[in-house]
Structure 1
Amino acid sequence: MNQEYIKADNWSIIEEGFDQETVKSSESLFSLGNGAMGQRANFEETYTGPTFQGSYIAGVYYPDKTRVGWWKNGYPEYFAKVLNAPNWIGIDVLINNEPLDLFTCTAVKDFRRELNMKEGWYKRSFIATLPNNGAKVQVVITRFLSLDIDEVGAINYNVSPLDQDVEVTFVPFLDSGITNEDSNWDDKFWNTTEVHSKDNRAYIQAHTMKTNFKTCTFMASELLLDGKILNVEPNAKQKETWVGHTYTQKVKQGGVITLHKFGGYTVSRNHKADALVEAANSVLDQVSQLGFNALLEKQKEAWAAIWQMSDITIEGDEKAQQGIRFNIFQLNQTYLGTDPKLNIGPKGFTGEKYGGSTYWDTEAYCIPFYMATKNQNVARNLLRYRYEHLEKAIENAQKLGFNNGAALYPMVTMNGEECHNEWEITFEEIHRNGAIAFAIYNYYRYTGDYSYIPEMGLEVLIGIARFWHQRANYSEAKNKYVILGVTGPNEYENNVNNNWYTNYLAKWCIEYTVKQLHKVKDGYPDDYERIVGHTRLTSNEIDKWEEVAKGMYFPYSEKYGVYLQQDGFLDKELITVDKLDKMERPINQKWSWDRILRSPYIKQADVLQCFYFFEDHFSQEMLEKHFDFYEPFTVHESSLSPCVHSIQAAKLDRMDQAYQFYLRTSRLDLDDYNKEVEEGLHITSMAGTWMSIVEGFGGLRIIDDKLSFNPRIPNKWKSYSFKINFRNRIIKVTVSASGTKFKLDGHEQMSIRYKGKRLELNPGEEISA
């Protein structure tokens, strides 16, 4: 299937023409979210063709029992699953008592979808001819999830008969008889406890099995004829897991019958468990008083405020512009930073793959985006999330045989417990610990807010340093400390010894932790005494950490002059990717796992991930040498891969290559590079797309505690611009072929570096550099 059916547009995602083959892909691409809930772009009316139904509530999950062929000690007992929640968007539509179903209609014309990213709404329109009675109707539906009142969404459903007078029946309904696409044992995830209806409102109360999240799914509807509200009482029907309201109205040819439906969820995470219906009524009172149009205007205002800070403009390349705005839009739909108990799942609210859980993607890729486009509290909340899970991280390490407060943060989690069920990742992909430590360093480097470290971060760092100390062991043969049996970011190598990236992170984490101990002791003595007392840390233990850091082994090739990805990398048959038959790509779908593990092919940046994190530790010449050695073996079959390579190619002034990597990361889902978009979008890698422009093309770095820029521009672009919130001062950067302009908002002067030279910015003035 050719994925390139999405029309290029600066501010919208547009599909024109109805194609049953693209329905599931479009359900992902046109997804909606507001940080508290989200849904795939499923049709409101009946659709009997292939579809992937999905509505999701932030923070609500089920511990699906692990399914493995052979149980090993230390396996997580469950894989957390984000749950397909009770469906509130459903509206059965009947024309002269015949169901409207685009799968069976004899003709569907002028089909169009639009996801308006500027204003935060989704619209679908079409003309359909019903197969039996031949009635021809025009249908226009607008839907959005409110940012202002984030427990509710709204639907405006219009039907207009084109060739005859008809009788239209709307049946807005709620349905808790739903299942997950992704399930290990086909367990029953939901238990419905009460279904009831009153006037034009209806409610289903249900709770999750095992985790016992209590929810109320609710709706309210009103009917309008030619724009005027009809005061009609619906006919209510209910079943064990379903409740619907039936409205029937005769409509003249050319007239318009409209259903307004408000729906959503109240959840025991945010309300008292016995007051969910009361909370639902409070929400419905609010939105009913406002009405659909006023609520939509508030939606537009809320999105305007988000774009005011986070927008990136690109002049001269519509597809690139559409790509970056799509990425920024979906990131803001997924996480807004208002709830410190939430985090960012790799699929957001667009699908069920990866369980909706938190990965190291948050610390490595997402935090930079949220630091620069929000206030620092949003990033601080993401770091607080890890601090709140420290005890669980210590428990995770204990299950694997570690002690004395060593902490191993999970590869995959909902509540701090490890819930990934593949041994080569659960036990071995321990570099995630380093990403969390790096995020603490990165947060302070960027925001200048050191308070997080004595308040919370130092305890996290101590637990991580203890883990690295215990995970390394002394090799008499090498007279060095080694780390055996790991998987690096390149998941196409498992159970390898001395993954260079992992070893480097371990050394850096220990050294960074020791520095912070000294700094907190000198500057925050009360916090230091509290932390040392709580963790029972001794100077003797710190000495042992430092011995490991100083004696860490790093595999290196004298022949190639590069650090080796792992001890045995040069034992592989070093055939570069360009020699692979295109019919054998992607290798993760075409090759056996045995063949992949013996190959030199790299899923995503591994050695180069380290060069990205610690760029200032290495010379430009070293980066170039390692990039030239490893990138030709990289198949980029992870969504996290192109962005890092784009940033580094830009630094090396290889702008054609940097641009191609940027296009791949920005349009990964829009153009379905991985042929899997129907499963959901790649949300966390979208933050990497933002980094590709700001850190790659814009050359943003923090050097000597100051913002530094070394901008470049792709040949195809006339200009691009972005904003950065740096320590509560907002700088707008505009780059064109003729030069760069900076404009500072705020009240204080600040200095930055531009291509290595100091530049003074005054509030309100635009400076050309």
Structure 2
Amino acid sequence: MSEGADMDQWTLCYEGYAPDDEPLREALCTVGNGYLATRGAAPEASADAAHYPGTYAAGIYNRLTTTVAGQTVENESLVNLPHWPAMTFRIDDGPWFDVDTAGLLEYRQYLDLRHAILTRRMRFRDTRGRTTAVTQRRFVSMDFEHACVADMAVTAEDWSGRLEFRSTLDGAVRNTLVTRYQDLAGTHLEPVRATRPCDDSVLLEVQTNQSGIRVAMAARTTVWRGRERLSARRRLLEEPGRTGYDLAADIASGQTVRLEKVVTVFTGRDRAISEPAAEAARWLPRLGGYDDLLKGHTTAWDHLWDRFRIEIEGRGDAQRIIRLHVLHLLQTVSPNTAELDVGVPARGLHGEAYRGHVFWDELFVFPLLNLRVPDLTRALLRYRYRRLPEARQAARAAGHEGAMFPWQSGSDGREESQRLHLNPRSGRWLSDPSWRQHHIGIAVAYNVWHYYQATADREFLTHYGAQMLVEIARFWASVASYDRDRGRYVIRGVMGPDEFHTGYPGAEDSGIDNNAYTNVMAVWVILRALDALASLPEQPRRHLTETVGLLPEELSRWRDISRTMYVPFHDDGVISQFDGYDTLRELDWDHYRARYGNIRRLDRILEAEGDDVNRYKASKQADVLMLFYLLSADELAPLFHHLGYSFDAGIIPRNIDYYLARTSHGSSLSAVVHAWVLARAHRERAVEFFLRALEADIADIQGGTTAEGIHLAALAGSVDLLQRCFSGLETRGNQLLLNPYWPESLGTLELSVRYREHPLVLRISGHQVQVAAGHGMHRPMRISCRSETAVLHPGSTLEFPSGDSRIDRPSPRDTATPPQPP
């Protein structure tokens, strides 16, 4: 955050105008509602080095092809839609206002985190010595997802004259935000029509040039002095792909004149509409003005914050960032998203990095939704279910069974991973084997099971979830092959979450064998699929097994694999990241840090030097540690024992220390995962990583990537560190479990959750845990805190000891045993 940032816990504030900071500010000042979002670009700006107007609607993709490095590549992208906030002004036929050329006297921009309203205040003096104050506001309605609102108030401090506004809908936009994509095709929209539904309104309709999705925006622009609507002189502006009005009014010294703009947005993927242009034109006159729409918008946000209340007493700066992270989560996925056929885009609806694709980020997002708006999780999981046929086809095409979900997903569920990527450090286009990250299926299965654990939604499990679990388990059973020498099943040719290792030296794109994370979690998926089948009533279970052709001998093979999957270890008992990891070279970390400073993207540095990160014991994000992130020791111990391996207390800290020394933290998720796994044994180090995770986007610690779109999983994951990690909250075995190791340096945590429709308030400090239940007709529920279990009745409160007396005593997580090779 820039110097002088407001310390108000509900405001993100920037003082002074800094063109070099604008790309970051634009991403962090995005306003949205889960249906669409608009970057915080200045309304008068066009795309250039400092500014990038961008509006993105969930699920609006388009596919283009480009010839690069002698190859034809195809990329599907989330489309930059017409710039609806476009507004500027001028005085007495002078130049149109431009923040980059104005003689600024004051400049302040702030985002209201409570209600997602972006405000910009300026004072400037022009070349004729006239002083003008300007206030601009905008929001995207959380109440009515198709409405966007902006206004601009201009005050003539020491002059009188003619004030002319320009307000347009600008459809002449392209996808050009990400510099390393500049050589790839980026023109996705073609104009359809521009009309004038009534005297104060215009309508612009465009269409994506491959996917054929129509997008319509209608804008009503009016001019006001106080509560008086002015009869401004109005001139229609029509250019290719752009339409709007120039409006002129007289203004006297000391007066304020305000331009108000209300916009409706509809797309061809909306439900219950005739067609986008008709709906945009039909709804616009039904909407009130700025103040009317603001009431519904703020009420909707107040209701959301009631559910997402997470308070850290005494940590004001951290509190504000936590709220910023929750805000951006809800601007990407909200109740407005539930009716859409969309997933969780890795970079939110905030930019064009990763082309708006859906990765595994829902793994870090759903824990926040499961305990607050589980219906939204359910809707987002349906995105995966609808693409199950495509995942089955992908598995068959690869010679496997079951469902192979894509590492990058877009509109229809095919693999969208790039086959070439640009290393901006060397300027070379390189092959990209990211499609080998089949562990995405593990994330889908994990999310299905944990949604069920949090909600007991048997209807979802019966009709959707169990089928996904079965087909993903079937895929892993199909991929696994029996190694007679080891007497165990193995999995070859994959990539783990650590994206640095794409293969072995000399075969860099062929994947690696027996990635420990993949092998262990594949077994976990198989066991959960068996659990899901066992939990179904006889008739639905029989229907499912008949539908997918699941035979008893296949289930028998699953059970055999679940007992004899191979897990690689080093000689000292440390879990090996994959077969052969221990034979790789050690990297001279001090040398590279001294030479380059920031070595997060060590893979790019080494490639530019003519070297290859595949040769070294170096991780972008250590995927062995992901095992300890996803599964508590209480879960891992029986899982390893089921596989025939021992597991004792030394293995977790030993693995953490080993891989922490060999990690570049090139992933925005690395700080989240390391904070989590350090929380039990090294609490204050965990707090350091937690604070680092909070800074990931607001400080843009990856050096320019946040400007291309926020890192949604890292934002959600940082909040989940409070919710589940430091509190030790788990939803497992039809019970709410708490195993808190709350760092006293973080003060006191209070948060609201809903567990299986039970509204709860948790208050956790270093000394005590309180769990208060809301009033209602709910059945009593069992709460366990470490070794104590009690029954919580509606309207009552339970208290458990939390803290310091237990710090040095082994917890259930710490008393598990280290894996040893059999």
Q: Same fold (TM over 0.5)?
A: yes
Instruction: Note if contact 1:29-1:681 (Cα within 8 Å) is conserved in structure 2.
Output: yes
Residue equivalent to 2:735 = 706
Q: Is 1:143 paired with 2:138?
A: yes
Question: How far apart, in 2, do the equivalents of 1:544 and 1:708 lie?
Answer: 33
**Aligned-residue offset at 1:454:** 2.0
Over 3 Å counting, the alpha-carbon distance change for 1:67 and 1:631 in structure 2 is farther
Over 3 Å counting, the alpha-carbon distance change for 1:461 and 1:53 in structure 2 is same
Q: TM-score, normalised by structure 1?
A: 0.93
Question: How far apart, in 2, do the equivalents of 1:164 and 1:285 lie?
Answer: 35
Residue equivalent to 1:753 = 784
Mapping of 1:29-108 within 5 angstroms? 29-46=28-45, 50-65=50-65, 69=69, 78-108=74-104
Instruction: Report % sequence identity.
Output: 24
Equivalent position to 1:168, from 163, 170, 173 = 163
Instruction: Note if contact 1:577-1:601 (Cα within 8 Å) is conserved in structure 2.
Output: no
Mapping of 1:557-568 within 5 angstroms? 557-559=570-572, 561-568=573-580
Amino acid at match of 1:670: I
Query: In terms of mean alpha carbon deviation, does 426-435 or 713-722 score higher?
Result: 713-722
Amino acid at match of 2:670: S
Equivalent position to 1:632, from 656, 661, 666 = 661
Instruction: Note if contact 2:515-2:577 (Cα within 8 Å) is conserved in structure 1.
Output: yes
SS in 2 for 1:302: helix
Q: Deviations over 1:562-600 (max 9, x none)?
A: 110011211123458577525342241661234322222
Query: In terms of mean alpha carbon deviation, does 747-756 or 144-153 score higher?
Result: 747-756
Residue equivalent to 2:548 = 535
Residue equivalent to 1:157 = 152
Mapping of 1:261-340 within 5 angstroms? 261-270=261-270, 275-287=275-287, 290-337=288-335, 338-340=338-340
Q: Is 1:484 paired with 2:492?
A: yes
Number of aligned residue pairs: give it: 753
Q: Is 1:585 paired with 2:598?
A: yes
Query: In terms of mean alpha carbon deviation, does 690-699 or 741-750 score higher?
Result: 741-750
Q: Deviations over 1:309-328 (max 9, x none)?
A: 10211122222111111111
Question: How far apart, in 1, do the equivalents of 2:306 and 2:24 lie?
Answer: 30
Equivalent position to 1:764, from 773, 791, 795 = 795
Residue equivalent to 2:671 = 642
Instruction: Note if contact 1:105-1:128 (Cα within 8 Å) is conserved in structure 2.
Output: no
Query: In terms of mean alpha carbon deviation, does 569-578 or 621-630 score higher?
Result: 569-578
Over 3 Å counting, the alpha-carbon distance change for 1:515 and 1:185 in structure 2 is same
Over 3 Å counting, the alpha-carbon distance change for 1:576 and 1:368 in structure 2 is farther
Over 3 Å counting, the alpha-carbon distance change for 1:256 and 1:17 in structure 2 is same
Equivalent position to 2:469, from 458, 461, 464 = 461
Over 3 Å counting, the alpha-carbon distance change for 1:49 and 1:405 in structure 2 is closer
Question: How far apart, in 1, do the equivalents of 2:268 and 2:105 lie?
Answer: 44
Residue equivalent to 2:508 = none
Question: How far apart, in 2, do the equivalents of 1:743 and 1:308 lie?
Answer: 15
SS in 2 for 1:600: coil
Equivalent position to 1:121, from 117, 122, 125 = 117
Over 3 Å counting, the alpha-carbon distance change for 1:272 and 1:230 in structure 2 is same
Mapping of 1:337-348 within 5 angstroms? 337=335, 338-348=338-348
Instruction: Note if contact 1:196-1:238 (Cα within 8 Å) is conserved in structure 2.
Output: no
**Aligned-residue offset at 1:68:** 6.0
SS in 2 for 1:688: helix
Question: How far apart, in 2, do the equivalents of 1:751 and 1:297 lie?
Answer: 40
Question: How far apart, in 2, do the equivalents of 1:409 and 1:235 lie?
Answer: 50
Equivalent position to 1:724, from 753, 771, 784 = 753
Question: How far apart, in 2, do the equivalents of 1:242 and 1:263 lie?
Answer: 15
Residue equivalent to 1:548 = 561
**Aligned-residue offset at 1:614:** 2.2
Q: Is 1:513 paired with 2:513?
A: no
Amino acid at match of 1:720: L
SS in 1 for 2:698: coil
**Aligned-residue offset at 1:69:** 4.7
Instruction: Note if contact 1:562-1:625 (Cα within 8 Å) is conserved in structure 2.
Output: yes
Amino acid at match of 2:796: E
**Aligned-residue offset at 1:36:** 0.7
Over 3 Å counting, the alpha-carbon distance change for 1:643 and 1:577 in structure 2 is farther
Segments of 5+ residues of structure 2 without an aligned counterpart are: 420-430, 503-510, 638-647, 801-822
Mapping of 1:242-261 within 5 angstroms? 242-261=242-261
Question: How far apart, in 2, do the equivalents of 1:179 and 1:151 lie?
Answer: 22
Question: How far apart, in 1, do the equivalents of 2:146 and 2:442 lie?
Answer: 36
Question: How far apart, in 1, do the equivalents of 2:467 and 2:32 lie?
Answer: 34
Residue equivalent to 1:189 = 188
Over 3 Å counting, the alpha-carbon distance change for 1:663 and 1:264 in structure 2 is farther
Residue equivalent to 1:660 = 688
SS in 2 for 1:734: strand
SS in 2 for 1:545: helix
Residue equivalent to 1:16 = 15
Question: How far apart, in 1, do the equivalents of 2:367 and 2:674 lie?
Answer: 17
Q: TM-score, normalised by structure 2?
A: 0.87
Query: In terms of mean alpha carbon deviation, does 573-582 or 142-151 score higher?
Result: 573-582
Query: In terms of mean alpha carbon deviation, does 655-664 or 458-467 score higher?
Result: 458-467
Instruction: Note if contact 1:36-1:57 (Cα within 8 Å) is conserved in structure 2.
Output: yes
Q: Is 1:570 paired with 2:582?
A: yes
Instruction: Note if contact 2:225-2:257 (Cα within 8 Å) is conserved in structure 1.
Output: yes
SS in 2 for 1:504: helix
**Aligned-residue offset at 1:429:** 0.8
Q: Deviations over 1:63-103 (max 9, x none)?
A: 133766576xxx9x732201110111101311222234444
**Aligned-residue offset at 1:194:** 0.6
SS in 1 for 2:475: helix
Question: How far apart, in 1, do the equivalents of 2:740 and 2:282 lie?
Answer: 51
Over 3 Å counting, the alpha-carbon distance change for 1:63 and 1:6 in structure 2 is farther
Question: How far apart, in 1, do the equivalents of 2:307 and 2:124 lie?
Answer: 41
Instruction: Note if contact 2:81-2:171 (Cα within 8 Å) is conserved in structure 1.
Output: yes
SS in 2 for 1:355: helix
Over 3 Å counting, the alpha-carbon distance change for 1:577 and 1:725 in structure 2 is farther
Instruction: Note if contact 2:115-2:298 (Cα within 8 Å) is conserved in structure 1.
Output: yes
SS in 2 for 1:217: strand
Instruction: Note if contact 1:251-1:257 (Cα within 8 Å) is conserved in structure 2.
Output: yes
Residue equivalent to 1:369 = 368
Amino acid at match of 1:166: G
Q: Deviations over 1:492-547 (max 9, x none)?
A: 11122111011112222223223333433xx141x233322322222223333333
Question: How far apart, in 2, do the equivalents of 1:711 and 1:226 lie?
Answer: 55
Query: In terms of mean alpha carbon deviation, does 200-209 or 607-616 score higher?
Result: 607-616
Instruction: Note if contact 1:647-1:691 (Cα within 8 Å) is conserved in structure 2.
Output: no
SS in 1 for 2:671: helix
Instruction: Note if contact 1:102-1:108 (Cα within 8 Å) is conserved in structure 2.
Output: no
Residue equivalent to 2:410 = 413
Q: Is 1:612 paired with 2:620?
A: no
Q: Is 1:445 paired with 2:448?
A: no
Amino acid at match of 1:396: A
Q: Deviations over 1:331-376 (max 9, x none)?
A: 01110142251221111111100111211111x21111110121x2
